[in-house]
A and B are shown apart, each in its own frame.
Chain A
């Protein structure tokens, strides 16, 4: 997943519990689990490590 081309990268919660990372890219909404072995989540962590910041979390 290419986070640098995303319209929006945001942590999100359900019923007050953080459940994933939402990446909006054009007409695509990708929901990424907070699971270490998921390669999309690994790409997100790399994107953050490179100095990027997601939008504030929302429900």
Chain B
């Protein structure tokens, strides 16, 4: 008879070269980051963001250009290098100049984890859990690079890591004892931010390896990617997990990870001429006002902002093809659905007619945003 008992392990190495199973009982929701493998790119679909852009690029990952913009370009799979084994995508940064970062400036990649997804860490209490951040990184530069954990402004932990060989993927891990002080969000607001530094002035740089009651996003003295024109910085396989050692990356089913991303942002793009894209069903509130329900694919973090981009919006009503929708707008926002309506438009319909909203070209889209 087999004896029963407890087995406590951090990692289980498999017979497959380089294979490591999940840690302990954290086989579900191990990686608190979303899109750590950089697969999902709803906004840009692989295209580059403008160099003047500061905000979300691939899903859940944003770039910050706090100071003078135009210093970096972010793009999924920039430079078209071969990703590390086990990955097909990465987030790439290319420096646009040799820039000396000002005192109050910083350039970074950041993901903000929602409070609900780190609530069990117990940060801000005596029972704060240790975490490990692991990632694959490649740069045209070598030396001591840096990153930081932050609670959104009042607690931070700068850390360093070394890139030894230029233009070569290297896997790094950083283990950090949980913060026993400060206030850490545990609901729909900011939980933990993880920053990867690309250049930082003294105001936002701090001592590596210690928690501080300060708003820092990088360690002092780290390599500045924006300081070298044409320098590259590529990142993928990013994992934030409980425990004192890095375990194998938690791959997720594509549909699951897409839904995880859509809690914060989703986009419905026009597909014409293959078809008008159905947006939602509703009714004519008046001859020129088609109102419809815009249902979110998953409950969003919070009532979202809705962007109507382009002019290709129309509606169908009984026995008639499309009226155009001018000045589209939204109301009655909620995490589950919102009301969309036509501020003006062309129609000879009758109030109460059933209707469908459509996107009628292949350049217009609706973007729904509740990012942190």
CB contacts (< 8 Å) of B331 on chain A: these are: 14, 19-20, 31
Q: Given known contacts A20-B330, A29-B328, A33-B333, is B307 in contact with A38 (CB within 8 Å)?
A: no
Q: Which of A9-59 contact B (CB under 8 A)?
A: 12, 14, 19-20, 22, 27-33, 35, 37-41
Q: Number of residues in A with C-beta < 8 Å to the partner? A: 19
Instruction: Give 1 or 0 for each of B171-201: 1 = CB within 8 Å of chain A CB.
Output: 0000000000000000011000000000000
CA distance A41 to B365 in the complex (A): 21
Q: Given known contacts A14-B341, A40-B369, is B327 in contact with A35 (CB within 8 Å)?
A: no
The residue of chain A having its C-beta at the shortest distance from the C-beta of B371 within the complex is A39
- Distance to closest chain A CB from B68 (angstroms): 15
CB contacts (< 8 Å) of B341 on chain A: these are: 14
CA distance A41 to B371 in the complex (A): 12
**Cross-chain contact B308 with A38 (CB below 8 angstroms):** no
Give the residue of B309, B332, B372 whose beta carbon is less than 8 angstroms from that of A19. Answer: B332
Q: Which of B306-330 contact A (CB under 8 A)?
A: 306-311, 327-330
CA distance A14 to B327 in the complex (A): 13
CB contacts (< 8 Å) of A14 on chain B: these are: 329, 331, 339, 341
CA distance A32 to B368 in the complex (A): 10
**Cross-chain contact A29 with B372 (CB below 8 angstroms):** no
The residue of chain A having its C-beta at the shortest distance from the C-beta of B285 within the complex is A15
CB contacts (< 8 Å) of A30 on chain B: these are: 305-308
CA distance A27 to B312 in the complex (A): 11
- Distance to closest chain B CB from A46 (angstroms): 14
Number of cross-chain contacts by CB at 8 Å: 61
CA distance A12 to B327 in the complex (A): 12
**Cross-chain contact B329 with A29 (CB below 8 angstroms):** yes
Confirm or deny: B295 has a beta carbon within 8 angstroms of a beta carbon on chain A. no
The residue of chain B having its C-beta at the shortest distance from the C-beta of A15 within the complex is B331
Q: Given known contacts A14-B341, A38-B370, A39-B372, is B303 in contact with A31 (CB within 8 Å)?
A: no
**Cross-chain contact B309 with A38 (CB below 8 angstroms):** no
Q: Given known contacts A20-B331, A22-B329, is B303 in contact with A27 (CB within 8 Å)?
A: no
The residue of chain B having its C-beta at the shortest distance from the C-beta of A30 within the complex is B307
**Cross-chain contact A32 with B305 (CB below 8 angstroms):** yes
**Cross-chain contact B311 with A33 (CB below 8 angstroms):** no
Give the residue of B188, B307, B308, B327 whose beta carbon is less than 8 angstroms from that of A37. Answer: B188
- Distance to closest chain B CB from A34 (angstroms): 9
The residue of chain A having its C-beta at the shortest distance from the C-beta of B69 within the complex is A2
CB contacts (< 8 Å) of B372 on chain A: these are: 39
**B305, B330, B370 pick with most chain A CB within 10 angstroms:** B305
- Distance to closest chain B CB from A22 (angstroms): 7
**Cross-chain contact B329 with A38 (CB below 8 angstroms):** no
- Distance to closest chain A CB from B352 (angstroms): 16
**Cross-chain contact B305 with A33 (CB below 8 angstroms):** yes
Interface residues, chain A, CB within 8 Å of chain B? 1, 12, 14, 19-20, 22, 27-33, 35, 37-41
11 CB contacts below 8 A, A to B, read A12-B329, A14-B329, A14-B339, A28-B307, A29-B307, A29-B308, A29-B309, A29-B329, A30-B308, A31-B305, A38-B305
The 4 closest A-B pairs by CB, nearest first: A33-B333, A31-B330, A19-B331, A40-B305
